[in-house]
Amino acid sequence: MPTNAETVALALDRITAAYVFPERAAEMDRAVRKRLAAGEYDDLTGPTLCETVTAHLREVCPDQHLGLRWRDEPQPVVAVDEERGQAAFLARMRAANHGVRRFEHLEGNVGYLDIRRIADAGEGARVIGGAMELVAGTRALVLDLRECLGGSPEGCTTWCSYFFPDDHTHLKDIYDRLTDTTRQYWTVAHLPAPRYLDRPVYVLTSARTFSGGEDLAYTLQAHRLALVVGETTRGGAHPTGSYQLDAHISVRVPSARGISVATGTNWEGVGVAPDLAVPADQALEVAHQHALTRTAS
């Protein structure tokens, strides 16, 4: 079992090599190694070590995706394996019904979808399509992202595509430091369910909404396709990788950044601000009433 000092040093090596902004990585490295040399971490228990180092990293760089994580159940320490990581992600998505928690048909023919994760665009496309099939005949739609904590950028593109008329819209670019490449994300040409066009769409947010959930809210808002109702979101925009440091501790390192074509920026550090600011627990009622007013005839 490595010492605390060895574990923290390895985490810093990972951050220095992979963090999306190299200059910020260097600042974090200097600040935490100074504390490391002073012995500040020597006597901390595992969970406390993770909390403390994460806090010190975020003092320098307040990236909500960045930090150390403790797991009570021992994990294998192996070289980074993208296929293994993707398989684990897909297993979690399957167990969570690819993020779609609930459908409801609200009064006034308003559709409601409770989305807790943003699924993979491959396996998840069928479930996303099934959800959109259920709401295809509604007069307005509410997407509840108040408990959505992240997921796949590709899956977010799939969700977004249902609200655009075709595959001609360039949504965003994601730059990856590890490969020094930029990938473009465009709306999808072929979808397994009807597109949802020319009807009111509402996105519910809370202070918990994070990462992929923010991506969906931000993109639809930026293209003026949905009204965001609720609270400002957490503000985590950087795609992230996880590296196992020892049997119990891993480090999450954001290695990429997305740029919206509509805004030229993203929501990192600031979150997605609602169009209608209300407490999260009132957001559904407010959105529903707003939808009923807009669709009254």
The answer as to whether 258 is a domain residue is no
If asked whether residues 44 and 132 sit together in one domain, one would say: no
Task: Report CA torsion sign: 160, 165, 167, 171.
Answer: negative
If asked whether residues 42 and 124 sit together in one domain, one would say: no
Q: Nearest-CA neighbor of 85 among 272, 241, 225, 248?
A: 241
Structural domain range at position 14: 4-70
pLDDT at residue number 79: 59
CB 210 within 8 A of CB 146: no
Residues above pLDDT 70, as percent of the chain: 97
Report the C-alpha gap between 278 and 294 in whole angstroms.
Answer: 19
Domain end among 53, 70, 87: 70
| Residues found in the chain | 297
Domain end among 12, 35, 70: 70
Task: Report CA torsion sign: 213, 214, 217, 222.
Answer: negative
CB 233 within 8 A of CB 211: no
**Overall number of domains in the chain:** 2
If asked whether residues 115 and 194 sit together in one domain, one would say: yes
Q: What is the overall mean pLDDT for the chain?
A: 95
Q: In sequence order, what DSSP letters do the residues of 227-295 get, joined into one string? A: EEEE---------EEEEE-SSSEEEEEE-EEEEETTTSS--TTT-PPPSEE--GGGHHHHHHHHHHHHH
If asked whether residues 101 and 45 sit together in one domain, one would say: no
pLDDT tens column, 98-113: 899 999 999 999 999 9
Would you call 285 exposed, middle or buried from its count of C-beta atoms within 10 A (0-12, 13-18, 19+)?
exposed
pLDDT band at 88 (very low <50, low <70, confident <90, very high): confident
The answer as to whether 161 is a domain residue is yes
For 22, the 3-state DSSP assignment is helix
CATH code for position 189: 3.90.226.10
If asked whether residues 131 and 54 sit together in one domain, one would say: no
The pTM score is: 0.91
Q: Is pLDDT above 70 for 73?
A: yes
Which DSSP letter does residue 99 get? G
If asked whether residues 65 and 100 sit together in one domain, one would say: no
What beta strand segments (E) does 4-64 contain? Answer: none
CB 240 within 8 A of CB 65: yes
The answer as to whether 257 is a domain residue is no
pLDDT band at 82 (very low <50, low <70, confident <90, very high): low
